[in-house]
Amino acid sequence: MFKHTKMIPTAALILVLCFAMTGCFYSANQPAPAPNETAAPHVTTEPAAPTPAPGGAAAPAQAYDWRGKASAVEARINMFSEIQESHIVILGQTALVGVRFTGTYKGQLTQRIRDMVAGEVMAADTYITTVAVTAESADVAAIAQLRQRQAAGASDDELKPEFDKIVRDTNTIS
């Protein structure tokens, strides 16, 4: 008699666990998980599609004014605890960012810092598809000079050779 009274609660418990596990695995009403999206440097994505204007014509995309407003993005990047100073140069859909670390930060340029910097740049201008970040002191100084020349009105063609040299330097940009 006692044998059956112990089996009934055990069977009921197993049955409840089976129903509970079935409910956990049932995901027909659950949305598919979003892919892990990070603002990693050197990520190439399609630029945002232009929004249609009244009448169905495509409106031109509003590009971010980097010559006049780059200092606002640099200020946001400089708010990161590791970064003391930053300089941004944009040519086409590529951003080149040079950063100098604070005296208290004893680390190196990490992927986390690159991702944070790239995130700020791409948040300011969705047209940017590639962000290269460096902390190499010679390159940061060169980027600062390019930034000054760009702000002063230098053409993209004038800046391109130096810009490409820094972007393609595999020792400083990864």
- State the Cα–Cα distance between residues 75 and 80, nearest whole angstrom: 9
**Residue pLDDT, tens place only, 15-47:** 666 666 665 555 444 444 444 433 333 333 334
Question: What pTM value is reported for the model?
Answer: 0.63
Residues 6 or more apart whose CB falls under 8 angstroms from that of 117 comprise: 41, 77, 80, 83, 86, 97, 99, 131, 133
- Where residue 65 falls among pLDDT bands split at 50, 70, 90? confident
- Which residue type does 32 have? A
**Residue pLDDT, tens place only, 108-142:** 999 999 999 999 999 999 999 999 999 999 999 99
- Tell me which CATH code domain 66-167 carries: 1.10.287
Looking at residue 14, its pLDDT comes to: 77
Q: In what order do the strands lie in the sheet with 94-101?
A: 83-91, 94-101, 130-134
Q: Which of 161, 149, 110, 147 is nearest to 118 (CA)?
A: 110
